[in-house]
A and B are shown apart, each in its own frame.
Chain A
Amino acid sequence: MRTIFPSIRDKPVFALDFSITYVGIIFLGLSIAGTELFKLYPDNKLEILLIRVIHTIFMFALVYLTQSTLRARKISTTGYFGLAVIGLWLAIPSLLVRVLLMEQFNLIADSQVAPYFTEQFLISLGLAFFWIPVAIILGGQRSKIIVAFKEYEKRLVITARKNIRNSEEFNELKKDVDQTFRNELIMNASQLLNSLTFSDDKKLSLKERNEIMQRCLKGNTLRDFSRRLNQQSEVMVSNSKFEQDMRSLNLISKQFNILYNFTARKAPVPARVYTLLTFALLLPNYINFFSLLQVLITLPGLLVIQLIAIQINKTLRHGGKYAILQTNFLTLLIGLLPFIEMILLSTLVPDLTEKFPIAIIAVFYPLSFYVYMRFIQITQPEAINAIKGDEIYASSSLKEAISNIVKDEFKQSMSHQWATFVHGKILTRLAATSLKLEQAVTHNDNNSFDVGLKNIISVLSDPTREFEQITFDLKTEISSRLDPWEGLIAITIKIDPVLADISNERVHDLGEVIEEIISNSVRHGGSQSISINITSGNHPDIKVKIEDDAVNPLPLFPTRIGLGTKILNLVSDGRWSISRDGGKTTVNLTMALLERQVSNHGGN
């Protein structure tokens, strides 16, 4: 197995990625500040904080300058030697500035500068030859992990979407949403119908009856209902690069435990890494506070750590239900060993024991150690291989997050369909009838008035009657979507003959996709022609390729997610993309057209 830190004999090459170095600088700054504030200079808190801030800014600038210079010289990789040189290049100026600041803020006297420098120089060597190279190597690994994870996330989301879309729970939700809209429409229609009964009084004059009718029709709640549905369907979600990354990070965090558990069982970090990390974390304290004798007294602790780490390794390789729990416990125990050692030694050899604040040694250090080890575990190459091989299943929280997205997309899509229906079929009829009634009054035509009234009663008595009937037949659905556009845009369509006779409820979803893409192409793109090619893919998928000559093509990476994007996501389970070649924009979409459906659309 390839390790994250290959042998020097293999002459490995590492990507020069400084992203984690910046994070490392902050952690290092916090760690040094903690020691200085609580142990070394408890009476100079303000000076220490100022020094840390100035030093951190200087280090950020130095790393940025180094990164830019390397980039300008097109140096993107290096070996262990190169990492050591970069380490020294960053660590020595860091030390010089630190000493200068300590002197300027009068925290060390002039006479102490030389010994302070010598003492800190040893720590800087640790920084140069260990921490900085490690941060750069992990940075390179991080990039690989993020790229692999983005791909993995996409596949995971597609699978989760598909499972959710076909689940019984989702079918129930579809029925519920549909029923809710129906009920609300029926309720609003009934309200209006009841109020209209007052106008059906033959004792009143036609004019008086019309006045009642017009008042009811103008003040009816159906218009508000339709507007509310429309507003719901038009909700846009911001989708900037930052927000996309945050969503990915959120998904990764939901998936972290599963990823950790999988890689820890499959490729546990070697035992020596626990010991090495402990030593590297404690080294500055050894240099700062410990005499040689004190160091020798504490060294057996490292042996204990090595033995516990070997036990962790065995536990993980052996597997078992509680392997991860035991590992977590033992890792925390390793983190607590310096504290346990401090307690023991202060009893046995109090004069040779260096005391550290409890908050640091018993809380901050063990927790940091625990987090570091988990991070190192998931940055193992094995983690990337597992991700690439789709060996890691989706966590329940990730499934839930995706389920909520799918449900939201469905609700918004249904809102749109109902808004269109209420506006196009109900409100329009009411307005037309209102007009007819006015005409009847003008001509004093009782008969026409009653016909108008009957029409309203008929519409309102069964308002959902004409709500879209789903087409199952592919040819009929496609032609119902394309024919209305005739005259506005030239459409050519090619359907794989194998698919021509398809008849199932997913055909309606395909129709929605085609409608969405054509309307976008006409309204935003200003296209004159569009071609649609539908071919069969791996069962149960089909592939839809739509090309247009849009003069204002859609952005390749939309910064906002609206109804259109949601419909495409919902129908294709997220498997769609936009590309551009010269004056041609292409949308490629894959959807499971041939899968067996569990229930009817929308509860119809």
Chain B
Amino acid sequence: MAATKLNVMLVEDDDFTRATVKSALQGQGLNIVYDTALVKEGIEFAKKNRPDVAVLDYNLGKGPNGIDLANQLRKIQPEIGIVLLTAFLNPAELDTKISQLPAGSRYLVKHSVSNIKVLVKEILESSKYSI
């Protein structure tokens, strides 16, 4: 699937980061159909609009984290592509309590987000996930 045809949803609680990532992805021709800081809004959007890919920050402040949200999105929409953003090399380093990443999910270390093409590649790869 071409990048421009992908509908991408972005959930990131930090306004500056969200705006920056959104702008970078749009710059690469991706269609950011929705961006939000709130988990519940992300879930509502996914239920109604079924985006191709969800780009989620791991750390979403108080409450659920990106993996909790990813698991829920996979329940709502089993074929959704998921890319998890983290500042660590391996999300498992973040928290031994974290649930397993949903099958087919990909994670991206945030400092390689500097190369936005890596992120786009991950998004494209994740969109190929099929159940």
Contacts and interface: CB of A to CB of B under 8 A. Distances in A.
Interface of A: 214, 217-218, 223, 226-227, 230-231, 234, 236, 420, 423-425, 427-439, 442, 455, 480-481, 483-488, 515, 519-520, 522-524, 562-564
Contacts of A430: 111
Contacts of B68: 488, 519, 522-523
28 contacts: A236-B96, A423-B58, A424-B60, A424-B61, A427-B87, A428-B14, A428-B87, A429-B17, A431-B17, A431-B113, A431-B114, A432-B14, A434-B111, A435-B24, A436-B20, A437-B114, A483-B40, A483-B63, A484-B39, A486-B40, A487-B40, A515-B62, A520-B97, A522-B64, A523-B68, A523-B99, A524-B97, A564-B97
A227 B91 CA distance: 11
Contacts of B44: 487
Nearest to A522: B68
A425 B13 CA distance: 9
Given A431-B113, A483-B63, A523-B68, 19 more contacts: A217-B114, A234-B95, A423-B58, A423-B59, A424-B13, A425-B14, A428-B12, A428-B14, A428-B57, A429-B14, A431-B114, A432-B20, A432-B110, A434-B114, A435-B113, A435-B116, A485-B63, A486-B39, A487-B44
Contacts of B111: 217-218, 223, 430-431, 434
Interface in B75-118: 85, 87-88, 93-99, 110-111, 113-116
A487 B57 contact: no
Contacts of B110: 427-428, 431-432
Contacts of B124: none
A359 B121 CA distance: 81
A487 B72 contact: yes
Contacts of A485: 39, 63-64
A487 B17 contact: no
A430 B59 CA distance: 14
B30 interface: no
Contact of B62 (A236, A423, A428, A484): A484
B57 to A, nearest CB: 7
Nearest to B42: A487
Contacts of A522: 64, 68
Given A431-B114, A432-B14, A434-B114, A488 B72 contact: yes
Contacts of B64: 484-485, 488, 519, 522
Interface string B38-55: 111011100000000000
A219 to B, nearest CB: 10
A542 B3 CA distance: 55
Contacts of A436: 20, 23-24
Interface of B: 12-14, 16-17, 20-21, 23-24, 27, 38-40, 42-44, 57-64, 68-69, 72, 85, 87-88, 93-99, 110-111, 113-116
B115 A438 contact: yes
A424 B40 contact: no
B55 to A, nearest CB: 12
Given A428-B87, A486-B39, A488-B69, A234 B114 contact: no
B115 A234 contact: no
For the complex of A and B, list the 7 residue pairs with the smallest distance between their C-beta atoms, beginning with the closest: A484-B63, A431-B110, A432-B17, A424-B59, A487-B43, A427-B87, A487-B40
A189 to B, nearest CB: 15
B123 to A, nearest CB: 14
Nearest to B64: A488
B20 A433 contact: yes
Contacts of B61: 424, 484
B42 to A, nearest CB: 8
B96 A487 contact: no
A563 B88 CA distance: 20
A223 B87 contact: yes
Nearest to A219: B111
Contacts of A437: 114
Given A428-B87, A455-B16, A488 B59 contact: no
B71 to A, nearest CB: 9
A487 B87 contact: no
B59 A214 contact: no
Nearest to B109: A431
Contacts of A217: 111, 114
Query: Which among B13, B96, B99, B113 has the highest number of chain A CB atoms within 10 Å?
Result: B96
Contacts of B58: 423
A94 B109 CA distance: 71
A226, A434, A563 pick with most chain B CB within 10 angstroms: A434
Nearest to A419: B94
B32 to A, nearest CB: 14
B74 to A, nearest CB: 12
A515 B68 CA distance: 13
B94 A432 contact: no
